[in-house]
Amino acid sequence: MSHGVQGYDPRTGEPFGEPVAKTPDSEVDRIASAAAVAFSAWSVAPAADRAVVLEEVADALDAESSLLVSTADSETALGVPRLTTELKRTTNQLRLFAEVLREGSYVEATLDSANPDIIPPRPVLRRVLRPLGTVAVFSASNFPFAFSVAGGDTASALASGCSVVVKAHSAHPSTSRETARVVVDALRAAGAPEGLFGIVYGTEAGVALVKHPDVRAVGFTGSTGGGRALFDIAQGRPDPIPFYGELGSVNPTVILPGAARGEDIATGFAQSLTMGVGQFCTNPGLVFAPEELVPALGEAVAATSGGAMLNERMCDSYTASTDALAASDLVSVVSTGTRQDEAWAVSPRLFSVPLAVFEENLEKLTEEHFGPAALVVTYSSPAELHPVLAKLPGTLTGTVHAAESDHAEAGEVAEVLRRVAGRLIFNAWPTGVAVAWGQHHGGPWPATTNPLHTSVGATSIRRWIAPVTYQSWPDALLPAELQDANPLGIPRRVDGVLGVH
């Protein structure tokens, strides 16, 4: 083994826990190969059986919540209340996918009867979505549970019938190790195939994992630079594989004149901006507002307090990028919040710029400052926003605040935003991503590498499954989802009609 991955306490900057050994290429190969063997058995296990296993993993994580939360709090400084709810979100994700498996429509079972009288003649065709193979999951820094070792990518991939190898994030190796221990033990106790889930540590191990011939898809949550590098590796393989990356997002918010309610809207904005020290992928980093609202927004941000960033690199990056923005002649500094006395603490910051200057410097001024910083773009008339909004880079969310008198304009703004954003929010703030059937957490580049798919919600399972059509096969040899009797009782489309038949 090479040198280890060391965790740190962001409040003090001091090392936390024992270093976790980096995983050499030979061990990556062993883990990925074992996962491929496990996939052969897991992928054909009945969906109902996989559902039970997911629920047992969720129960095991809940049972170890005290240890997991305390470990994560020491490595992330996110706080016990936040981490407690995040772990519960994580176990609820696992339980949601158990429901998805039992409901069954995710496989999109489609049956066409033979018809020799059309041109061309149609044989018996039966189509279903089947799991791809082993999935590599890259953990996120800002959600040590929900987007990490046992997070949404892992839950949806295991639900689909795929095996999983996680690349742990270097910011919380002890949390990753403890979570992986719980998952492995729970899978073993539930009778899942040995090797179904594995974990590796270190940047080199992550690269080796993406290159490994047994890995059939990758899920990633992280920076644009890191995601783009891995995306290129995945596409540059002799056999390119799908890479589902969630990268950067500025999450534009448009406040229309009728909604400029001053203190209420300003307070909500500041709370959303500084939640989790601004380390949310849905942080509202770009706001379009009437100029008269800027003082209230500034006062609200000035009243906030920053905190410790997740690691020293993020702290340094935030400080350097916001200092450079403040020193430029493009924007004005509106206000700065207070800074806590912690090792990697930062201050919330708010800047402003007129719409014309923003449009002339759009590429530079839409760079993400990962942390509690935002830029207010002031405008005179809502109509002048439309061509500018259309030029924004892809983003996870687009928000509109409007009074009833603004509804017509709100609809027009939404029509522009939907072309660049994956989720549209009305009179609320984008931080907080519900785990549900109707959720979409994705968007055009650079928000994600594939805007057609989500990393949150029931339909995120579609990333790990691909269609297979069975032509003229005997009923007894078909997957249960396609057999005439529909033994699983799942929704199916039969000769074009959708129903449970």
- Active-site annotation holds for 281: yes
CA distance 213 to 36: 10
Two tokens, residue 16: 């936390």
Residue 437: which of 154, 91, 100 has the closest Cα?
100
Residue 242: which of 468, 463, 467 has the closest Cα?
463
CA distance 379 to 364: 19
Residue 178: which of 68, 329, 18, 292 has the closest Cα?
68
CA atoms within 13 A on the CB side of 176: 33
Give the contacts of 24 (CB within 8 A, at least 6 positions apart): 1, 2, 205
CA distance 55 to 68: 18
Give the contacts of 222 (CB within 8 A, at least 6 positions apart): 138, 140, 141, 245, 246, 247
Coil, helix or strand at residue 21? strand
Two tokens, residue 469: 């059509």
CA distance 136 to 120: 41
Count Cβ atoms within 10 A of the Cβ of residue 121 and give its class: 0-12 exposed, 13-18 middle, 19 or more buried. Answer: exposed
Asked if 201 and 23 touch (Cβ cutoff 8 Å), the reply is yes
β-strands 110-112, 492-494 pairing: parallel
Asked if 458 and 100 touch (Cβ cutoff 8 Å), the reply is yes
CA distance 451 to 315: 29
Exactly one of 56, 64, 86, 246 is catalytic; name it: 246
Q: What angle do CA 429, 386, 324 make, to 5 degrees?
A: 65
- Active-site annotation holds for 263: no
Exactly one of 55, 162, 178, 281 is catalytic; name it: 281
CA distance 283 to 370: 8
Residues with a catalytic annotation lie at 246, 281
